[in-house]
Copies of this chain bind each other. A is one copy, B any other.
Amino acid sequence: MTRTGHEFRSRCSIARSLEILGDRWTLLVVRDLMWHGKHTFQELQNSEERMPTNQLSQRLKRLMDWGLVSRKAYQDRPVRYRYELTDKGRALEPLLRQIMHWGYDNLGGGFYDPVHKKSLPAKQP
With A1-B108, A1-B125, A24-B19 given, is the CB distance from A12 to B99 under 8 Å?
no
Residue A42 interfacial (CB < 8 Å)? no
Bound state CA distance, A48 and B112, in angstroms? 35
Footprint of B on A, CB under 8 Å? 1-2, 8-25, 27-28, 31, 48-49, 88, 91-92, 94-96, 98-113, 119, 125
Could you list 11 A-B pairs, sorted by A, with CB under 8 Å? A9-B49, A11-B48, A12-B28, A13-B101, A13-B104, A14-B103, A14-B113, A16-B103, A17-B100, A18-B28, A95-B102
* A14 and B95 contact, CB distance less than 8 A: no
Q: In the complex, which of the residues B12, B16, B23, B103 contacts A17, with contact meaning CB atoms closer than 8 Å?
A: B103
Chain B residue at minimal CB-CB distance from A68? B106
3 smallest CB-CB distances across A and B, nearest first, come from: A13-B103, A17-B103, A13-B110
Which of the listed residues A1, A48, A104 has the most CB atoms from chain B within 10 Å of its own CB? Answer: A1
